[in-house]
């Protein structure tokens, strides 16, 4: 149980285009999903917390107009990187919290999306 | 401030035992997670401690001392596939995970 999928797993795009990443909880309902970014050999950096049916809460320094988050259902959250630039190239990982599980605050991670902006 | 302190890198031998220590300082505390992250992959959940003591799960065990702000992950009967980064992540008063850079564990035959 507690499986999270992410799509696409890898994307290469041109500078200035927008990229949408989907995060789905496959076998549980996730009222809260998290979006992280990780640069090589660095720790996970929380970008935003997404609650179903409400606006996402962004961490300091993360531009909400550039990283659009939509959590329209209990099993789906999307992150759209708008007008991507090479410095946005990174590993984007989502996680979902399974409140019905044995560990109430456990975050289960999707496999990640590697974004390369040319 | 909030801080996680783990060794940057450790090396161990296949079949042996290794203990990865973690000390933390957080604003409030609601438990501590250990995750495993292989290179180029997302983290996977290993364990969760909220009370003091040892939690055993197969070859992996995790220990917590809340008064000392200290936890460790113990890996027994090491296998080559255990080569990965191990992330200690306490949960603060806002139920937000605090991430450090993790410990890169290298297993040698």
Query: How many residues make up chain B in this entry?
Result: 109
* pLDDT for A12: 96
CB of B67 less than 8 A from some CB of A: no
For residue range A88-99, what is the model confidence (pLDDT) as tens digits? 999 999 999 876
pLDDT at A1 over 70: no
B48:A45 CB<8 A: no
B42:A45 CB<8 A: no
For residue range A31-56, what is the model confidence (pLDDT) as tens digits? 889 999 999 888 899 999 998 888 89
Is there a contact between B62 and B49 (Cβ–Cβ < 8 Å)? yes
Instruction: Give the confidence band of A69 by pLDDT, cuts at 50, 70, 90.
Output: very high
> DSSP assignment, residue A55?
P
Contacting residues for A38 by C-beta, under 8 A, at least 6 apart = A44, A45, A90, A91, A92, A93, A112
B39's tokens: 């290179």
CA distance B54 to chain A (A): 16
- Reading chain B (109 residues) residue by residue, the pLDDT tens digits are 788 999 999 999 999 999 999 999 999 998 999 999 999 899 999 999 999 999 998 999 999 999 999 999 999 999 999 999 999 999 988 878 899 889 999 999 9
């Amino acid at each position: 149980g507690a499986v999270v999928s992410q799509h696409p797993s890898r994307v290469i795009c041109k500078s200035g285009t927008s990229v949408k990443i989907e995060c789905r909880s496959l076998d549980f309902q996730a009222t809260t999903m998290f979006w992280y970014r990780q640069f090589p050999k660095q720790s996970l950096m929380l970008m935003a917390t997404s609650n179903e049916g409400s606006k996402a809460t962004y961490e300091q320094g993360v531009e909400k107009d550039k990283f659009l988050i939509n959590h329209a259902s209990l099993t789906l959250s999307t992150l759209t990187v708008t007008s991507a630039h090479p410095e946005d190239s990174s590993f984007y990982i989502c996680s979902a919290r399974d409140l019905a599980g044995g560990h109430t605050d456990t975050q289960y991670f999707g496999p990640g999306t590697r974004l390369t902006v040319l | 401030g909030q801080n996680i302190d783990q060794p940057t890198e450790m090396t161990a031998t296949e079949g042996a035992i290794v203990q990865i220590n973690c000390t933390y300082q957080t604003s409030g505390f609601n438990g501590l997670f250990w995750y495993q992250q292989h290179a180029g992959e997302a983290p996977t959940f290993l364990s969760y401690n909220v009370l003091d003591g040892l939690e055993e799960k197969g070859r992996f065990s995790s220990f917590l001392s809340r008064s000392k702000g200290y936890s460790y992950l113990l890996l027994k009967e090491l296998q080559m596939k255990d080569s990965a980064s191990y992330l200690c992540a306490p949960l603060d008063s806002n139920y937000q995970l605090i991430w450090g850079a993790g410990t890169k564990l290298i297993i040698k035959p």
